[in-house]
Amino acid sequence: MALELSNLDRDLAGGAHGPAAAFAMRLLIRFAEAVEARSFIAIEQAHVDGCLYLGQASLDFVERMTALGGKVRVPTSLNVGSLDLIHPELFRGSDEVRANGKRLMQAHVDLGCAPTFTCAPYQSLFRPRFGAQIAWGESNAIVFANSVIGARTNRYGDFIDLCCAMTGRAPEYGLHLAKNRLARAIVHVDAAPHGWDAERVCVSVGHTIGQRCGSLVPAIFGLPADANEDDLKALGAAAASSGAVALFHAVGLTPEAPDIETATGGLAPELVLRLSAGDLGEAVRSLSSVADGAPLFAVTLGTPHFSLSEFARLMPLLDGPRPAVDVWVNCSRATLADLRARGWEEQLTAAGVTLVVDTCT
């Protein structure tokens, strides 16, 4: 099927909205043809994953957009960069990465992107509404937006996500389409190891479905009824890291799965999994490659970025002696502002915790 372009698409590609938008739209047209999209759709917002400096190409692409006078056409948040601009003394790396990493972050801001520098934009003012068509990069953000919020995005890689932001357009394919959001795998959580809380269950289930569901959208039965957004965040992050999951349905918990009939659209599953307590225990054990008995060197939390509610759970654990090892917690600038308003930043620092923003350990 040939790609259909609207008048706006043609105007964008033809330069009516400036040379930067034209460059971005022409690249998107090639991308849309490669994924066999039938047309383009308007997006409400974007989240750009390309702020992390990975080499000269990263910088060249964005600075070409700025040289062409480009500006994003929709509200656009930014993923983590290569360094913490609030605490620059924490950086450990080469002068090249320091300079070019900072330059890359600034170049995105020059294009009109908001300096959020977080892998969890859903914890900010950029949280999309249910059903919103968006173009997000960053694997955990994608699966959270699709699954927990019910917004619609594909897994957009570096450069393509920025092109969507520069044009306000995205190819109409994949998870933008309702038919592709239906569950084709059914996962039953039959039991969890004794004493496990919802977060540990969700991490182990996420790690397992990432490995075993492939590209199929799973519908999950049997998650703890008290699983909250942070628990589901952990599930999605594990699933996206261990596999290619960009959307899951938790029956009774997520907005597109009030029941199994809605989640599947009545379609027969291509895969059915039953997870025992032993399966979940083995999934957690497989996450560690450290030999038994090896000394603990440091603890790093907030990958994805720590939420305010997660800090509320952490604070009581810091009462008493300082931690025996280094503790690093990654969070967004917005969360840091909330910590300061509550007086928690001083308490965390006094307890020996190092806060990291803008980037990720």
Q: Give the pLDDT confidence of 225-258 residue by residue, as tens digits.
A: 999 999 999 999 999 999 999 999 999 999 999 9
* pLDDT in the model for residue 294: 81
What is the CATH classification number for the domain harbouring 164? 3.30.499.10
Judged by DSSP in three states, 299 sits in strand
Asked if residue 107 and residue 20 are part of one domain, the reply reads yes
**Integer Cα distance of 69 and 355 in angstroms:** 36
Domain-located, residue 291 = no
* pLDDT in the model for residue 271: 97
**Integer Cα distance of 16 and 319 in angstroms:** 61
* pLDDT in the model for residue 55: 93
**Integer Cα distance of 190 and 254 in angstroms:** 19
Asked if residue 64 and residue 141 are part of one domain, the reply reads yes
* pLDDT in the model for residue 289: 76
Residue 3 above 70 pLDDT?
yes
Its pTM stands at 0.95
Domain-located, residue 361 = no
Asked if residue 167 and residue 39 are part of one domain, the reply reads yes
Mean pLDDT over each residue of the chain, to the nearest integer = 95
Domain-located, residue 220 = yes
Asked if residue 307 and residue 276 are part of one domain, the reply reads no
Beta bridge partners of 187: 220, 273
Asked if residue 196 and residue 68 are part of one domain, the reply reads no
Contacts of 270 (CB under 8 A, 6+ apart): 184, 185, 216
How far is residue 52 CA from its own chain's centroid?
Answer: 14
**Integer Cα distance of 47 and 41 in angstroms:** 16
Residue 286 above 70 pLDDT?
yes
Residue 291, number of CB atoms within 10 A of its CB = 6
**Integer Cα distance of 145 and 154 in angstroms:** 10
What mean pLDDT is predicted for residues 203-220? 96
Residue 18 above 90 pLDDT?
yes
Using alpha carbons only, give the angle 320, 324, 329 rounded to the nearest 5 degrees: 85
Judged by DSSP in three states, 328 sits in strand
- Domain residue limits at 31: 7-178
**Integer Cα distance of 31 and 38 in angstroms:** 12
Q: How many domains does the chain have?
A: 3
Asked if residue 250 and residue 209 are part of one domain, the reply reads yes
* pLDDT in the model for residue 291: 63
Asked if residue 209 and residue 149 are part of one domain, the reply reads no
Domain termination residue (choose one: 136, 163, 178): 178
Asked if residue 118 and residue 24 are part of one domain, the reply reads yes
Domain termination residue (choose one: 133, 155, 178): 178
**Integer Cα distance of 251 and 161 in angstroms:** 30
The interaxial angle of helices 56-67 and 95-110, nearest 10 deg, is: 30
* pLDDT in the model for residue 263: 97
- Tokens for 212, please give them: 């075993």
Asked if residue 188 and residue 228 are part of one domain, the reply reads yes
* pLDDT in the model for residue 323: 85
Domain termination residue (choose one: 286, 315, 333): 286
Domain-located, residue 2 = no
What is the CATH classification number for the domain harbouring 241? 3.40.1060
- Tokens for 98, please give them: 């320091």
Contact 161, 137 (CB under 8 A): yes
Contacts of 148 (CB under 8 A, 6+ apart): 122, 229, 232, 233, 236, 254, 255
Domain-located, residue 114 = yes
Asked if residue 165 and residue 211 are part of one domain, the reply reads no
Listed range (3-7, 33-37, 289-293, 300-304) with the worst mean pLDDT: 289-293
- Give the pLDDT confidence of 40-58 residue by residue, as tens digits: 999 999 999 999 999 999 9
Give the closest residue to 200 by CA, choosing from 245, 230, 220, 221: 230
How is residue 262 annotated by DSSP?
Answer: H
**Integer Cα distance of 171 and 193 in angstroms:** 43
What mean pLDDT is predicted for residues 213-229? 95
Asked if residue 187 and residue 172 are part of one domain, the reply reads no
Asked if residue 204 and residue 88 are part of one domain, the reply reads no
Domain-located, residue 1 = no
What mean pLDDT is predicted for residues 265-280? 96
Contact 104, 142 (CB under 8 A): no
Domain-located, residue 174 = yes
Listed range (88-97, 142-151, 172-181, 318-327) with the worst mean pLDDT: 318-327
Domain-located, residue 122 = yes
